[in-house]
Amino acid sequence: MSYCFNPTCQNPENPPEVEICQSCNSPLLLTPSPNKQINKKIEEQDNAEIETNQIIPPSQKNTPTLINHSSYRPLKLIGQGGFGRTFLAVDEEHSLRKVCVIKQFFPQNTNYYQNYPPSSEKISGSGKLQVKTTSEKAVELFQQEAQQLKTLGSHPQIPKLFNYFQQDEQQYLVQEYIEGKNLAQELAEKGVFTEAKIRELLNDLLPVLQFVHKSQVIHRDIKPENIIRRTTGKLVLVDFGAAKLVEKRGLPQTGTIIGSAAYTAPEQLMGKAVFASDIYSLGVTCIHLLTQVPPFDLFDSRDGKWVWRDYLKTPVSGELGRILDKMLQNATNRRYHSATAIIRHLNPQSSHMETVYFSPSTVPKKSTQHAEIRRKLQGVLANESVKVQVSRVKKKLTVVISREANNKVNYSRLSQIIAAKLTDLRLQNIDRVKLLGKVQGKTVPEWQQILRMDKKTRWKNEIIRFKKSEHFMKLSELGTRDFWLARFHEREFWLDVLMFAFACFIFGNKIVIWYPQMALIIASAFIFVKHRMSKKNRLATNNLFATVATIFLIVGLLGERFWLANDFGLLLGCLFVALPIFYVREEI
């Protein structure tokens, strides 16, 4: 099917191969040609010196229009809004009939915008508040998106800009087609997101947001509809038409109120969007995906707080909850200021990153040789656009960080990340690490730092590792009230208590092996072996209890006390400890 570009066409659907619309006689193929009018409009904007929300940087304002030899055929309408329409199309001049997305903009059709109110902005040099029509604002937004996509499209998770042109007094933007479904569609089809999927979303999208903000751009319209999951599973951030270039000023300036109200930060609703505004919108997106409840219903206006936890079908961890709560703070000074900070909290490294600890007693694995160390360091620095080289001489490890000339890096922060990663690797026989920072192509380093072993940090890290271990987690449960309340309702718990008491009585009062205190060791070892055997096999617990109880009754009724301070006593104790092994039920 071919679809007519004419916005006033009454029957825009046409057969696949026709070139003229059968309803309105408009051409169905878009064939870009060099056009001076659109460049003239950009030059007129330069002369006007529009400051507020001006997205085109000074260095890019005179960039020529992107033109290529293409002929685009629209296949279907896939979206429309107040400023234009979006089509799925193919490039018929391309050998593979490349699929693309075309955004159409019609700035001079004022009747089309009669239902949309005008916007106002302050024009530099006039000193007065002038009113822009919605049509003029739409022209500016279209030119903004073209310039942004040209710059940001170098990122693999942002659509590439293929073409940008004007034809028949209408503007068109041709960009990469992202095959897949947006998160709103995914939510409708598959239901609420799990905590694991939200973590995956944040880990996938935050580096993209980090790149956008590093380019001094605020997206201003992050929502499920503008996040598309490729068929490969990778997320793509789309629709930069509402984005804004950040100017180097002290406080955010009041500009156009733009974005989707349900996902928009409070300061953005007042026309003062900042980088943290995108973080707020991403936070609202996450809680909507977790609950499948409209964002407005997740906020209690009476108490002035989010109540999204009340709508969860499955509770999330306290860690993720705290991260989302901080993303959703109304005040920007209490909200995350950068995507980098969220990434760190989402994937915490060692708690002590200021100095690095290497354990001289730990035997290194083969995976921690030079190439593997370099690979792991390069992995944690993947978002910093730097290259890492590693070398070792005796007990000194040298790490060289190379950056591109136009890429400024924070070496202090990089040293903390590297120190944390090396701490986790626990290398052998290293007493110091030398970090060098340099520009690619130059031999003289511009920065250096020495990391030495810190004994205090060493023990702190050992304590932290122990506290995070599985055994410590199980031991820590013993001190909780809930653990014991649950155990008191289990029959097996009381059988264990009785068998432990019987064993203590038998070997502490009647058959004493060396010392009465040995009874505690034998009883504890007996219970340990019983639990180990019951995890791997079916155990005849009732029969085992009957045997222990019988031994208890026999030695109790005899009334005599035996002291065994020889090998026989040791073997007798071992036999009792191994008793559960003989009560394993064989599977038939």
Q: Phi and psi of 57, rounded to 5°?
A: -60, 155
Q: In whole angstroms, how far apart are CA 281 and each of 80, 219, 336, 340?
A: 22, 10, 12, 16
Which residues pair with residue 237 across a beta bridge?
A: 227
Q: What is the 3-state secondary structure (H, E, C) of 455-477?
A: HHHHHHHHHHHHHHCHHHHHHHH
Tell me which H or E stretch contains 550: helix 541-558
Q: Which amino acid is at 86?
A: T
Which tokens belong to 296? Answer: 């407005």
Q: Distance between CA atoms of 525 and 395, rounded to whole angstroms?
A: 44
Taking alpha carbons only, the member of 253, 237, 64 closest to residue 156 is: 237
Which position has the token pair 């947001």? 209
Q: Phi and psi of 544, rounded to 5°?
A: -65, -45
Residues acting as catalytic residues: 221
Neighbours of 511 (CB within 10 A): 21
DSSP state of 168: T
**Number of continuous H segments (helices) and E segments (strands) in the chain:** 17, 24
Which position has the token pair 């799990």? 194
- Whether 289 contacts 183, CB under 8 Å: yes
> What spatial distance separates the first Cα and last Cα of the chain, rounded to whole Å?
66
Taking alpha carbons only, the member of 484, 488, 518 closest to residue 503 is: 518
Q: Distance between CA atoms of 466 and 472, rounded to whole angstroms?
A: 7
Taking alpha carbons only, the member of 507, 419, 50, 66 closest to residue 247 is: 50
Which tokens belong to 271? Answer: 């026309």
Q: Distance between CA atoms of 198 and 409, rounded to whole angstroms?
A: 29
**Sign of the dihedral defined by the CA atoms of residues 199, 203, 209, 210, in that order:** positive
**Residue 371 exposure: Cα atoms within 13 Å on the Cβ side:** 2
Q: Which amino acid is at 344?
A: R
Q: DSSP readout, 343-403?
A: HHHHS---S--SSB---TTSPPPGGGSHHHHHHHHHHHTGGGTEEEEEEEETTEEEEEEEE
Q: In whole angstroms, how far apart are CA 91 and each of 15, 35, 69, 79?
A: 17, 20, 10, 19
Taking alpha carbons only, the member of 94, 71, 67 closest to residue 2 is: 71
Taking alpha carbons only, the member of 324, 157, 287, 301 closest to residue 232 is: 157
